Structure 1
Amino acid sequence: MSFFGKNIKKIRSVKSLSQQSFAELFDLKRGTLGAYEEGRSEPKIDTIIKIANHFSIQIDDLLTNELTVNELLKFKGDLTTYAQDVKREQFAVIPCVTESTISEYIMLYNKESYIKELPTLQVPINPSKIFRGYTVSNLEMTNHDKGFYPKDVVIGEKVPVDVIKKLNNGTLVLALTESNLIFRRLYSTKGNVILRADHKNIEDEEYPISEIKEMWRVRYVFCKRIPDFADGMEDKLLMIEQELMKMKEKLG
């Protein structure tokens, strides 16, 4: 005696599928499925294989054993709680400040409820650290067609206030002041920070460290376009070629 009919009926019950929905899932007619469940008809082997594979059930178990609900919940198909038993990698969920949310963020940066409402990025980096995402909205950090362009995304790791003055000069940072969230390079002086753009026409901005509400050291960058890595390599190869030519002339 085949338990196929009873088992697929139980699968439908666990998955909360109607006969019609289950039948459509495997290109069957509703009446055909009903006949299987009532034992009035036996399925073709390819139908058995499709159902068994879909729900990751052994064909032998599907046909010869009356499966219990608990057993079905251990199989990994869409019907199961298998995901609860799998150790999945935890991605860091990073709140991201966009061009349209900057003004709100300046006012509400320290409100946890507001931060939770920001759009987020999920990135495979250390989830135990505190990060903040930022979408670039201007050309201040460009230089000779290189650098950061609008819609690029940078991710910064939070810097404690007492560590700000210890950061190396030239470090890329996001700095929150009373009136702005600034993406620049950091240069420290006695008690002050200078925020410098890569674009030569943008003036430096200088603030006492005490006026910096938050600082985030940029750790990761996502570019909207694919960077052109070839240019730098070609320059190096040209330089090597020129040096070889000079050596050849001296030896000649």
Structure 2
Amino acid sequence: MTQIGSNIKKLRTVKGLSQQAFADLFNLTRGNISSYEEFRAEPKISVILQMAKYFGIPISSLLEKKLTVNEILNFEDYFKEGSEKVNTKNLLEVPFLSKSYIQENPENFEINDFPTFYMPNIYNANLLAIENNSLIPNPIDFNFEESSILFFEKVKVEILHTLQDNIGFYMNLNEIFFGRFHVDGKEIKLILNDWKEKKFQLNEIEHFWKLHSKYEKVH
């Protein structure tokens, strides 16, 4: 079990927020917050990411530590270089393809070179996080906000039957694009537009990803 429930309650107390006021920040209900604080449930990863970003708290600390008042009020100083390393044993390391990385490495998409961050290991999936931006070609019906973070899971044989009409991502060492999967019998294609598509082959399965979830900034 993580420390997220205790830390939500501590954050509310320090920031002077009621359960309802805290819930309103993240499009939740007062009942949601109550269940988190009483350890009857835990937030979805998309909600945890929103909380971490909103309060400027590292995700690993929000999950692993029992935060103190001083830590909440002084995160810039507390999480300086050389501070105590957080135990990442129960966290999932996720590669992150950002706009700045693409600008610096326009034709070198080696996933092992991507920066990474940690998130709760509550999904049995191999994930890749991508910052949506104009440098990645996408279909005409790709309705995601600029700079939203999209999480993709690596395609496996076991999920091929779920791909139809789902958003996908293709990546090899020098090419990337978002597309939509089309399944016709045993033929699977990731289609960008009328002129560009990639036919799925089992020997190239590591290049194909399926949309898993998304994170968008709370306005």
TM-score scaled to structure 1, two decimals? 0.40
TM-score scaled to structure 2, two decimals? 0.46
